[in-house]
Structures are given as structure tokens and as C-alpha cells.
Amino acid sequence: MECETKPDQAGKPRLTPLEATVVMIRRGRRDLLPRLRQQLAEHPEIYQRVGDLAAHAQRAWAELIGGPDDLFKESMILAAKDFENRLASGNASQVEKLAAARVAAAAMEYEYFRTWLAQHPEAEGTKMGELYRKRLDEADRRCERAMKTLTEIKRLLPRVIEVELVQKPVAPQAPIMTGSVNGNQTGTATASTKQFNALNRIGGRFAGHSEPFGELLEPSVAK
């Protein structure tokens, strides 16, 4: 991949074209922005990951809740992603996945203020405590609205049902002995051949009879 950094022959990190463009832009080369857009367009997996605002929101709340505990923070991020995936399955639409990501971020926001109030019981009755209590109520309403939106999207959008088809082997049909049919010689035939010959005996045009069988099926068309 172009985004991977590889060492050169001297063992030093060698920048990929995309990384080199980013470095030069950060040093003031704003004229290279069209090149950066073109390079990102060639690697959508990069801008889709870097530009995932819902994931950034979830990480920001994890940073606030987890503080310096990296294990706690990374576990929260993975748990939020798992929660998001369970809200919107793999065959869900993009609108449903976006709504699920917002529910996960709103839930983390709510848990942040709830955790802060639980960790600071001394703030009860203070201006800071009242501020966080108000923020908790606002986060609760946002989370509830996000869940209602996701529920409404699930109700309105058509559902995709995956059906697993299992092909079972079909046993070959035993040959059926037949006699002379419409002048044909005696021989063997399958069930489908027997059905065809029976149709000839009824009087279809297959055997060249004068009364066409099609008149029974399409009386308005037959002449």
C-alpha cells in the first residue's frame, strides 16, 4: 500500500508519495493540495478511515473518560465499535450505519457525564456539579433522539433477507419401458420422454395430427 512507510537501503524510513505530500503540505506547500486530493482518491480506504467523524467523536469521549489509562481507552473504543456493529448489521444501509455510529457516540457522551458525577460526589450542589448534571440531561436527550432516529430508519428502509441455498444431489431416474407410440419403435425412455409421448397420444401437433393440441390451450389464437 502507498500509505506504508518502508526503509531504504540505509535502513532509514522512506516516505511513500502520499506521506511525502503530507509532510510538504504541513511545511507550507499549500500548492500541493490538488496532488493530495488525487492521491487520497486513489486510496479511498485511507480517507474513509481518517475522515470517519463518528470514530473521532468516540475516541474523543474515550480520551476524556479513560484519561491516561490506554487499556481502558482502547477497550472503550472497541466496545463502542462492537455496539455500533450490533445496532447495524453488515448488510445495513449507509444511512442506518451512520445512525448507529451516532447512537454509539451519544451513549459515550452520556456515560462520560454520568461517570464524572459518580467520581465527584463532592460536586453535588455546586455550580460545577449543576453544570455537569445539566450536561448529563442534555446528553441523555441526544442519545434518546439518536436511538429513535435509528429505530425509525430501520422501520422505513426495506430489509434484506439473506437466504442460504443448499444444493442437494438428485438421484437419476430409472428408465421406463415404452411400447410403440405414434408409430415409434419400442424402447426405453425417461419420465420426461414418457410425458412427451403421452402428449403426442392426446393429439398434439408434435405428431403431425390434424387436430392441433394448441386449440385446447389457446382457442382464441388457434385457427
> How confident is residue 211, by pLDDT bands cut at 50, 70 and 90?
very low
pLDDT tens per residue across span 153-174: 988 876 655 555 666 666 666 5
What residues does each domain of the chain span? 12-49, 52-156, 176-217
Per-residue pLDDT tens over the stretch 127-140? 999 999 999 999 99
* pLDDT per residue as tens digits for the range 48-63: 888 888 888 888 888 8
How high is the pLDDT of residue 183? 53
CA distance 197 to 212: 15
Residues in Cβ contact with 61 at an 8 Å cutoff, skipping those fewer than 6 apart: 76, 105, 108, 109, 111, 112
Q: Is the pLDDT of residue 126 over 60?
A: yes
* Residues 207-218, mean pLDDT to the nearest whole number: 44
Q: SS3 string of 193-215?
A: HHHHHHHHHHCCHHHCCCCCCHH
